[in-house]
Amino acid sequence: DSARRTEEPYCFFNPELLQSAISHIEMKYRLREALENEEFVLHYQPQVNIESGRVIGAEALLRWQHPDFGLVMPNEFIPLAEQTGIIGDIGEWVLLTACHQNARWQRQSDSKIRVAVNLSASQLFQAGFADMVSGVLRKTGLDPDCLELEITESMMIDTEKAIKILNELKSIGVHISIDDFGTGYSSLQYLRILPVDKLKIDRSFLTNVKDHSSDTAIVSAIIAMAQHLGLKVIAEGVETKEQLEFLRKERCDEIQGFLISKAVPANDWEKLSLLSYKGGIYG
């Protein structure tokens, strides 16, 4: 008797596992509820052409306006949305909302900007993804030239699968950029094969851009490589004038970062794009 009591019970569902299973299911439920209750919101961060100083694009960045916790940032819930499989539905909402907003801006003014939308791997490789994208463009009336899809290097590991879907997307006429460039899967081979239009230099390289640092060399090399491959290049996370001047000198095409503006709600966008047209953004 006493021997049996001290034995470790063999059990798949230990309390900890059960706990994580519950929160997993709860979280999936909460994220779906958030989608249905329209608790998600997109903020838009301007992308500026260095030479003209004009806003030429906006990256759509997802936030969760939680009734109790306030504004929740994407790094806190996107991994969970990916694990629970609900990222497909959230991602479709993001795409529809961003395209709809950009089409509305274009009807309201004669400026034509491109909206950039972040994709998750599971979303990109979901069956029928390209059809969903064309459906959204048709529904919103947005010119495919005014939509950019951001992928990351890790999505390119299965190169054949990536080429197939990216070619489908390119045939629709949308633009493709590689986000956080330099931090992921590092074979440069795929840059020659994949139909991408732009590299986004990860902001971790920008933080240390000072004279003679190795990050300075990396940023210069990425810009030069992009130019040789006929790709556009944007630096993200630009916070200082020194960084801007360095990027201008290296002939980087575009910048995005707190120096210009953080991401703002759609209602604040108009002011921001007007300001940039007056050229006042560099201070």
What is the three-class DSSP state of 12? coil
Neighbours of 24 (CB within 10 A): 13
Q: Which is nearer to Mg ion, 30 or 42 (CB)?
A: 42
Contact flags string 249-268 toward ligand C2E, x per CB under 6 A: --------xx----x-----
Compute the radius of gyration of the chain from its Cα atoms.
22
Q: Which is nearer to Mg ion, 30 or 252 (CB)?
A: 252
Sign, CA dihedral 73-219-166-141, equals: positive
> What residue type is assigned to position 150 of the chain?
E
The answer to whether residue 118 forms part of the interface with Mg ion (CB under 5 A) is yes
Q: Which of residues 136-155 bind Mg ion (CB under 5 A)?
A: 150
Instruction: Label residues 196-232 b or e (16+ Cβ within 10 Å = b).
Output: bebbbbbbebbeebeeeeeebebbbebbeebeeeebb
- Answer with the entry of ligand C2E, Mg ion, none that 222 interacts with (C-beta below 5 to 8 A by kind): none
- Of 272, 275, 218, the C-alpha closest to 247 is 218
Which residues, in sequence order, are bridge partners of residue 57?
A: 47, 114
Q: Which of residues 182-241 bind ligand C2E (CB under 6 A)?
A: 203, 236-239
Among 31, 48, 55, 78, binds ligand C2E (CB under 6 A): 78
Residue 152 beta carbon to Mg ion: minimum distance, rounded to whole angstroms: 6
Contact flags string 86-105 toward ligand C2E, x per CB under 6 A: -----x--x-----------
Q: Which parts of this chain interact with ligand C2E (CB under 6 A)?
A: 45, 61-62, 73-75, 78, 91, 94, 118-120, 179-180, 203, 236-239, 257-258, 263
